[in-house]
Structure 1
């Protein structure tokens, strides 16, 4: 089974628990093989319980469909608050998030992702909706900003 087929199998499995696949990577750390899967729950926060449930569903599937995987560690996690976006799917799952992008001409931009469709995104930069083609973006990541309370309660 190749990576694309595995992604489709994971997407279908996660769909059954109202989650979606964010990313998947085969890694080697020290001498250990790792299959790292990032997910997003669509109707609730992606909690540790959600990741555990996904792990319990995915692990036996890998045993059946990827018997060549031996002595590996399966890691299932949320996609995280701050993350790199490199695939169209990453942008689609990040609508409403604040992005920082470095363009191919090395310009740095920042805005809220309003729309992601195919190979184009729309960023709201200081009230102005601006379209960008994904090919214009060299690097993109989500930025999480803590909001400050205007009138914090005194303890």
Structure 2
């Protein structure tokens, strides 16, 4: 059997795993294969399609079992492998409107395309842009003016957030 090129393997894995994740009502963010000694690690990152909240551990375990069954059936990964299914985590970069919608109410640190750093609480996000509360001042930004953004991890959040 000819080994698939890395991008071809990635596409084939997405094609096999994507429908399973979709059927679980989740979104496949990414799937990768990496070497780990003599074994390989298949990493699938899943998330809710939109809205607040996160993927609970029961749902994550269920989709993990379903992905494992599919990978065993299609035999895309040569040799022994370990499957890791996770969510993106709070520290992932925010790069799509749905990422921002899921972060409404959270404190963000972002950099604008003109190089300015901005920290503020995300109050609104839609398909065209976002609204931050920056020290009591409303600041509206379109996504094309944001070069990078992340949620700031807060150990205790203010009540109004």
Task: State if a TM-score over 0.5 links the two structures.
Answer: yes
Given that residues 22 and 89 in structure 1 are in contact (C-alpha distance below 8 angstroms), is that contact kept between their aligned partners in structure 2? no
Q: CA deviation at 1:78?
A: 3.1
1:34 aligns with 2:34: no
- 103, 106, 118: which one pairs with 1:97? 106
Structure 1's unaligned 5+ residue stretches are 149-155
Q: TM-score of the superposition, structure 2-length normalised?
A: 0.67
The 3-state SS of whatever aligns with 1:68 is coil
The structure-2 alpha-carbon separation of the partners of 1:6 and 1:128, relative to structure 1 and needing over 3 Å to count, comes to farther
Which position in structure 1 is the counterpart of 2:23? 13
* Contact 1:40 1:79 survives alignment (8 Å): no
Structure 1 runs of 4+ aligned residues shifted over 4 Å read: 1-8, 40-45
- Which is richer in strand? 1
Once residues 129 and 117 of structure 2 are traced to their aligned partners in structure 1, the CA distance between those partners, rounded to angstroms, is: 17
- Number of residue-to-residue matches in the alignment: 144
What CA deviation, in whole Å up to 9, does each residue of 1:92-121 have, x standing for no partner? 222222111011111100112222222422
- Per-residue CA deviations over 1:46-76 (Å, capped at 9, x if unaligned) read 4433321221123223445x54333443322
**TM-score by structure 1 length?**
0.69
Which ranges in structure 2 are unaligned for 5 or more consecutive residues?
A: 1-10
- For residue 8 of structure 1, report the CA deviation from its aligned partner: 5.3
Task: Give the alignment's Cα RMSD to 1 decimal.
Answer: 3.3
- Counterpart of 1:151 in structure 2 is none
Give the 5 Å matches for 1:1-150. 9-15=19-25, 20-21=26-27, 23-30=29-36, 32-40=40-48, 46-64=55-73, 67-70=75-78, 71-147=80-156
